[in-house]
């Protein structure tokens, strides 16, 4: 079996990126984002991207790096409130946006990875979310049709991997990453630790290696905190 292990993010992206592609980018806020792969995508100069992600990063970090270089043409997200450059581009008509309720976005990605082309949900019925979508009644209640999401590439962040691409995520970084890994035509994982074959307990593997085509070990992660709220010692 060909090796799935690459020396770094740039090498892992080589040959799979192209202008106008769609990319699933893991993480929730800044937790569990594939920060090395995002920076390497910026360095490729690829443009016209459709990025599907829980959020759009922040100014100068995460997907905010690709917004600053105008490489993203369209965002499919559930929250974008931490990025001033995103706001500026959207209000200026320079960036397309498709908003999704957060649970709907997660289920659309899960469905896409499972080969399910669409599903009905009550979320968004009677709101702007339902505009242009099929409505169907079940047991006297209206539901709207949402479509599954797949993408040309999924970039995700994991804690541990073995050489076969089996992945383990750590705590809250196990957010959008596992479902996105199943929904990319090509999935690249950046990991903090590579272990020997057999070192991972099969019952503890979150993403089987069959979904992962390439991986590499990242170094020196910043792990920035998106919003830091503290109290004074006196208040505590």
Average confidence (pLDDT) over 104-115:
98
Task: Answer whether 129's CB lies under 8 Å from 108's CB.
Answer: no
CATH number of the domain that 108 lies in?
Answer: 3.40.1080.10
- Return the DSSP state at 153: E
Q: What is the pLDDT of residue 225?
A: 77
* CA dist list (Å): 158 to 23, 32, 50, 79, 170: 17, 7, 23, 22, 7
What pLDDT, in 10s, does the model give residues 191-220? 999 999 999 999 999 999 999 999 999 988
Whether residue 98 is predicted with pLDDT greater than 60 in this model: the reply is yes
Using DSSP's 3-state secondary structure scheme, residue 15 falls into: coil
136 belongs to a structural domain: no
Give how many domains the chain has, as a whole number.
1
User: SS3 helix, strand, coil % of the chain, rounded to 5?
Assistant: 25, 30, 45
Q: What is the pLDDT of residue 224?
A: 79
pLDDT band at 76 (very low <50, low <70, confident <90, very high): very high
Average confidence (pLDDT) over 20-30:
95
In angstroms, the CA 136 to CA 148 distance is 17
65 belongs to a structural domain: yes
225 belongs to a structural domain: no
4 belongs to a structural domain: no
* DSSP per-residue codes, 73-136: EEEEES--TT-HHHHHHHHTT-SEEEE--HHHHHHHHHHHHTT--EEEESTTTTSGGGTTS-EE
60 belongs to a structural domain: yes
Contacts of 234 (CB under 8 A, 6+ apart): none
Whether residue 236 is predicted with pLDDT greater than 70 in this model: the reply is no
Token digits for 231?
């109290």
Q: What percent of the chain has pLDDT over 90?
A: 89
Whole-model pTM: value is 0.93
**Strands (DSSP E) along the chain, which ranges?**
22-25, 49-52, 72-77, 96-99, 118-121, 135-138, 141-147, 151-161, 167-168, 184-194, 214-217
Average confidence (pLDDT) over 47-68:
95
pLDDT band at 81 (very low <50, low <70, confident <90, very high): confident
Task: Answer whether 216's CB lies under 8 Å from 12's CB.
Answer: yes
What pLDDT, in 10s, does the model give residues 117-159? 999 999 999 999 999 999 999 999 999 999 999 999 999 999 9
Q: Which domain holds residue 70?
A: 9-116+149-217
Phi first, then psi, for residue 21 (nearest 5°) are -80, 165
49 belongs to a structural domain: yes
In angstroms, the CA 216 to CA 188 distance is 8
- Return the DSSP state at 7: S
42 belongs to a structural domain: yes
Q: What is the pLDDT of residue 235?
A: 61
Name the one residue in this structure whose structure tokens are 């498709």.
98
pLDDT band at 1 (very low <50, low <70, confident <90, very high): confident
Name the one residue in this structure whose structure tokens are 């490729």.
44
The length of the chain, given as a count of residues: 236
Whether residue 17 is predicted with pLDDT greater than 80 in this model: the reply is yes
Task: Answer whether 224's CB lies under 8 Å from 59's CB.
Answer: no
Token digits for 217?
């070990």
Whether residue 46 is predicted with pLDDT greater than 90 in this model: the reply is yes
Q: What is the pLDDT of residue 233?
A: 73
Q: How high does pLDDT run on average in the chain?
A: 95
């Amino acid at each position: 079996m060909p090796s799935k292990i690459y020396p770094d993010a740039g090498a892992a992206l080589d040959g799979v990126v192209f202008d106008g592609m769609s990319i699933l980018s893991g993480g929730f806020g800044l937790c569990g984002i594939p920060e090395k792969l995002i920076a390497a995508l910026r360095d490729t100069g690829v443009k016209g991207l459709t990025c599907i992600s829980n959020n759009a990063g922040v100014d100068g970090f995460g997907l905010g790096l690709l917004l600053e270089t105008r490489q993203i043409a369209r965002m499919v997200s559930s929250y974008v409130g931490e990025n001033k450059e995103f706001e500026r581009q959207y209000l200026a008509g320079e960036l397309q946006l498709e908003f999704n309720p957060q649970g709907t976005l997660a289920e659309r990605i899960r469905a896409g990875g499972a080969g399910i082309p669409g599903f009905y949900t009550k979320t968004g019925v009677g709101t702007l979310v339902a505009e242009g979508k099929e409505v169907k009644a079940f047991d006297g209640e209206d539901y709207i049709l949402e479509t599954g999401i797949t993408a040309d590439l999924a970039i995700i962040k994991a804690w541990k991997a073995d050489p076969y691409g089996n992945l383990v995520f750590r705590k809250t970084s196990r957010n959008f990453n596992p479902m996105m890994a199943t929904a990319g035509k090509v999935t690249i994982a950046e990991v903090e630790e590579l272990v020997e074959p057999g070192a991972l307990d099969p019952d503890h593997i979150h993403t089987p290696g069959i979904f992962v085509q390439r991986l590499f070990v990242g170094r020196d992660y910043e792990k920035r905190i998106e919003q830091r709220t503290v109290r004074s010692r006196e208040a505590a």
